[in-house]
Amino acid sequence: MNFFQPLKNWQDINILLLAYIGDAVYELWVRQHLLEKGIAKVEIMHKNAVHYVQAKTQAAILKKLLPELDQTETAVVLRGRNAKGHHPRNVDVITYRYATAFEALVGYWYLDGQGQRMQTIFNRIDDIIQSLPPEE
Q: Let me know: does 86 contact 126? Beta carbons within 8 Å.
A: no
Q: Of 12, 23, 112, 127, which residue is the catalytic one?
A: 23
How many CB atoms neighbour CB 102 within 10 A?
A: 26
How many CB atoms neighbour CB 12 within 10 A?
A: 7
What span, in angstroms and rounded, lies between the C-alpha atoms of 91 and 100?
Answer: 12
How many CB atoms neighbour CB 99 within 10 A?
A: 26
Q: Which amino acid is at 65?
A: L
Q: Catalytic residue at 12?
A: no
Active site residues: 23
